Amino acid sequence: MIRKGIFYEMGIPASEDNADELEARISGIVGMKDADCSTTWAKVREWLENPQLKETLREKLSS
């Protein structure tokens, strides 16, 4: 699920080492904790297309 380019642009370190943790955090942030990967990423794309939600995601992943 991790797409490094997206996170690199947001200043979020993404690697194979932290992929599982990052995926779990993202799923929770966008409200898709128990959803499958494609459903979660559809929601993440919505967040990334909305500047306010993208900033919220960046802030929550940075903390």
Tens of pLDDT, residue by residue over 14-62, are: 888 888 898 999 999 999 999 998 999 999 999 999 999 999 999 999 9
Residue 63: per-residue pLDDT = 84
Interatomic CA distance for residues 54 and 57, integer angstroms:
5
Query: Which tokens in the block code for residue 17?
Result: 């080492």
DSSP-based three-state secondary structure for 14: coil
Residue 50: per-residue pLDDT = 97
Domain hosting 53: range is 4-62
Provide the whole-model pTM: 0.80
Number of domains in the chain: 1
- The answer to whether the beta carbons of residues 7 and 54 sit under 8 Å apart is no
Per-residue pLDDT for 3 more than 70?
no
